[in-house]
Amino acid sequence: MGGPLEGVRVVELAGIGPGPYTCMLLADLGAEVVRIDRATGSRPAPDAGPHWDLLVRSRRSVGVDLKSPDGVELVLDLVARADALVEGWRPGVAERLGLGPDDCLARNPRLVYGRMTGWGQDGPLALRAGHDIDYIALSGALWSIGRAGEPPVPPLNLVGDFGGGGMLLAFGIAAALVEAQRSGQGQVVDAAMVDGAASLMTMTHAMHHLGMWNDDRAANMLDTGAPYYEVYETADGKWFAIGAIEPQFYAELVSVLGLQGEKLPAQNDRSQWGAMKERFAAIFRTRTRDEWAAAFEGTDACGAPVLSPWEAHEHPHNAVRETFVEVAGVRQPAPVPRFSRTAASISLPPSPSGLHADEVLGDWGVDEERIASLRKSGAID
């Protein structure tokens, strides 16, 4: 069998960042996702090699001129045969093109219409530009990340774009598809990165309400305040991470560091955290990263070497689990999550825009004569 979403058809109105990530997740899980790219006026060669953008893997591309009435009508015809649509434009753009929710649901009342924006479809900021750093700033997530006395540190664009955005939109679409099977009705899924980033902070809010979270940055258990949840430099200038939160794991950490039997402060005596961090740091500087990895192996002391993205595939655990795979000569993260019976897979390497027009449109019921007419008018590449 294919992935768990085999048989689901999705129209992707191409965008950047979190929208393509949503569609990559759906496609890796077996959905047939057709990417509607911007027409360029020329078709790629049939033997064009893989495209560089891994986020567009596992799906085929059609180049369409969405300023052409014929191009819009073609997309609406595809929507009529689809289960879901994904768009990531600013609010109102899809409506102006004639591809908004009302237009699409009129063609297909069962359609799940997924929308990805930073600020959401409404609100004072809805029409403003922004990026991941802005969305996580407004959600409260960025404020909590960083060292004491230093500015907050952007965690790449993982929290807003991909965690709070693309992943949650994929989850929302999957949930709405399940509901549509029961009700026979589609709906709009409004995924805003600011909302998603706020949701990811739920546990932090709980800890604050319980009096377990200090307002000062880097003064808490999970924000590098605690000596047992920290990253330490090693003798070779590399880094080692520890996260020994539970008392039994902390006891193992103390043992691996050679401090067993010494009279140490209580694990959560915050007045002593600074001194303990200095002591741990001095110990970690006595061995290389890989020597510490060997020392922690086989223990529950919750330690791990900090690997670069380019060496992570070499770690024995990642290698055994095939966390990274190679497709068309490019190493990349494997599809997630894992399924015991309907395995996910990368069905196609990333491909150039507009490469698959004839085969996709034929598969979706568009006859050859119409394809030729659309190409002649410039509505498709």
Active-site residue among 77, 131, 315, 363?
131
Strand partners, 33: 10
Strand order in the sheet with 229-233: 229-233, 239-243, 303-305
User: For residue 338, what are its two tokens?
Assistant: 């894992």
Contact 24, 99 (CB under 8 A): no
Beta strands in 262-363 (DSSP E): 303-305, 324-327, 330-333
Q: Is 367 a catalytic residue?
A: no
Give bridge partners of residue 231 from the DSSP assignment: 241
Residue 219 three-state SS: coil
Is 37 catalytic? The answer is no
Report DSSP letters for 172-199, one per residue. Answer: HHHHHHHHHHHHS--EEEEEEHHHHHHH
Element (H, E) at 375: helix 368-377
Distance CA 85, CA 150 (A): 42
Which one from 83, 134, 161, 195 is the annotated catalytic residue? 161
Full strand arrangement of the beta sheet holding 9-13: 60-64, 32-38, 9-13, 84-87, 112-117, 187-192
Catalytic residues: 131, 161
